[in-house]
Homo-oligomer: A and B are copies of this chain.
Amino acid sequence: MTTTTTTSTSPAANPVAVDLNGADGGPDLVREGAGLAGTPVSLFGGEEITNDEDPALAVRSRETASIVRAAKAVGAGEADALVSAGATGALLAASLFHVKRIRGVHRPAIAVLLPLPGKPVLLLDAGANVDVRPEYLVQFAYMGAAFMEAVHGVARPRVGLLSIGEEAKKGTDEVVAAHAQLAAGTLDFAGNVEGSALATVDVVVTDGFTGNVALKLMEGTAKTVAGAVRDAIRSGLVSSVGGLLVRGRLAGLREQLDPNTTGGAILLGVRRPVVVAHGKSSAEGIANAVRLARRAAAENMVERTAAALEQGGALRSAPAASFASSHD
């Protein structure tokens, strides 16, 4: 069930572990996509853990599940990074149990590039933590900034805290407290940003409830507006040369908004890069997810994240015993 495909680049690196389950297109599509990535991969088949199961329970009890096997390979140092298009809860639980948190990190967060045209803007948490404490938000800020530096080459990323007004006192108690800590920290902190001004920063920090709602809203709104514009154009132009020109340009815009282009979301705060590929991924989407995982590993994203958290004084002083026993 485990196949290691070694192709072109990085002959010295360990492979990227890829969960064959979870994509709407099935294991064959994942296998095809992984093969297109141009980097060594280890493919893990087996049972699938679905969204209908309790993730922690399923991950603990089903040793032969593909996501558990893949995460264990990463935890054991046999693979450099993990990619799965399967249930996000299961991927999160398997990563916590087997890849483990960076020492001093309270909670890993899911980070995702926003479907905005133009420059990349990272949002986290996109859904791993429904409730947050101020110190979680502060860590998310450092983790997101380290990712944008390491993987997207953004020098000194500008970080904003999502809120309902620019003033430091605006927002929930958690947001107000996190604002004060970030203003006193080492990041390029832009203060609070509102939903209408996300493109003014490189990293947008929020809790997992607001972040998940926001992300789905943006995807929905972008689709609705693009669809309405397309319908409006279609009904007026039919088959003119103008219509062909517009169609070509709209296709370019759609590609910028397509999660297949970015490779998916990334779980930050764990000891190896973990990429959350979209269930609707095409083969090229899977390939991009594998490339993202490889890039994060090659650029030492995890090490740079740990260093940034330490320099910012944002690490938890007393790590939980259960996650402090290995990899340090």
Which A residues contact B (CB, under 8 angstroms)?
Answer: 116-117, 127, 130-131, 162-164, 171-173, 194-199, 206, 208-210, 212-226, 228-229, 232-233, 235-237, 240-243, 245-246, 248-250, 252-253, 257
Contact between chains at B220 and A246 (CB < 8 Å): no
Q: Which residue of B lies closest to A245 (CB)?
A: B236
Q: Which residue in B164, B198, B233, B245 is a CB contact (below 8 Å) of A220? A: B198
Q: In the assembly, how many copies of this chain are there?
A: 2
Min Cβ gap A255→B in Å is 12
- Chain B residues, CB < 8 A from A116: 221, 224
Min Cβ gap A242→B in Å is 3
Q: Which residue in B209, B216, B225 is a CB contact (below 8 Å) of A171? A: B209
Contact between chains at A164 and B209 (CB < 8 Å): yes
Contact between chains at A172 and B130 (CB < 8 Å): yes
Contact between chains at A130 and B171 (CB < 8 Å): yes
Cα of A291 to Cα of B209 in the assembled complex, Å: 36
Contact between chains at B117 and A224 (CB < 8 Å): yes
Contact between chains at B246 and A237 (CB < 8 Å): yes
Min Cβ gap A272→B in Å is 26
Q: Which residue in B130, B226, B245 is a CB contact (below 8 Å) of A225? A: B226
- Chain B residues, CB < 8 A from A246: 232-233, 236-237, 242, 246
Contact between chains at B224 and A226 (CB < 8 Å): no
- Chain B residues, CB < 8 A from A223: 196
Contact between chains at A214 and B214 (CB < 8 Å): yes
